Amino acid sequence: MITSYGIGRLMRGMWYGIGSLDPIAFSAVAAVLMLSALLACYIPARRATQVDPMAALRQD
């Protein structure tokens, strides 16, 4: 939180209408990061469920 506050103060001039402690901006960034992390985990897991476990073990 302290680091994000410091970076927000440094970049305050670049963003119009967003404060250094804007809860909506922090929530939006957290939501985007969580969604991208979920997709990064979900897509390989979905592909792994399509593989037959016995065929994968025999191949090693």
Rounded Cα distance, 37 and 48, in Å:
17
Percent of the chain past pLDDT 90, that is, above it, reads: 37
Task: Write down the pTM of the prediction.
Answer: 0.57
Instruction: Report CA torsion sign: 12, 17, 23, 24.
Output: negative
Rounded-to-integer distance, Cα 57 and Cα 50, Å: 14
Residues 21-39: pLDDT tens digits? 678 877 888 899 999 999 9
User: Higher model confidence: residue 39 or residue 60?
Assistant: 39
pLDDT of residue 36: 97
Domain locations in the chain as residue ranges: 23-50
Q: Is the pLDDT of residue 7 over 70?
A: yes
